[in-house]
Amino acid sequence: MPTYQLNINGERREVTVDSSTPLLWVLREDLKMTGTKFGCGISACGACTVHLAGIATRSCIVPISHVGDRPIVTIEGIGQDAVGRAVQDAWVEKDVVQCGYCQSGQIMAAVALLKHTPKPTEKNIEESMGGNICRCATYPRIREAIKSAAAQIK
């Protein structure tokens, strides 16, 4: 099996896995970074969202062989930058989480939105977060948290 050099949350990690292994499984099974969740496995729910070269990416359907040298940021590392920290703080402030299973993906999508659109409209939020499903229906609190984070970002 091939060996891959990965840049995850600013650290170099090495894994030897089958080339078809989805990035999600590498994170969870090989690197034991279990903050990123398995939801649907077909890119339909957003629970597995990570950032790949800054793009919110569904890690369940990206084979490790397609990652290359692009930097990966997961929920474990998202608090390292100002936008990520603001979003996490807002999530706590608004008490967004219910069961919490989808929330790492929600936060990763929210950070991608705010990095691109620091002052999002309702439509921006609706469209950008529209692919992240929450079984507990915490959507109103997610919206409020995103607005709160946006207000905190300079």
Partner 1 sequence: MRRIRLILFVSAAVLTLTLYIVEVRFARADVPDTTTTAQGLRAWEQVYSVLTHPRCINCHTATDYPQQGDDRRRHVANVVRGGAEGKGVPGLNCAGCHQESNADSTGVPGGHNWHLAPLSMRWQDINDRPLSSAAVCRAVTDRSKNHNLDGPALLKHHEEEALVKWAWNPGRRPDGTMRTLPPITHEQFVAATRQWVEAGTPCPAGR
Chain residues binding partner 1 by CB under 8 A are 20, 22, 42-46, 49, 52, 55-58, 60-63, 66, 109-110, 112-113, 115-117, 124, 127-132
- Give least dist CB 23 to partner 1, A: 10
Q: Please identify, using beta-carbon distances, which residue of 34 and 43 lies nearer to partner 1.
A: 43
Closest approach of partner 1 to the CB of residue 118, in Å: 11
Residues 51, 53, 58, 60: is their CA dihedral positive or negative? negative
Query: Closer CB to partner 1, residue 34 or residue 65?
Result: 65
* Nearest CB to partner 1, comparing residues 33 and 52: 52
> What's the min distance (Å) between Cβ of 73 and partner 1?
13
Instruction: Report, in Å, the least distance between residue 103 CB and partner 1.
Output: 14
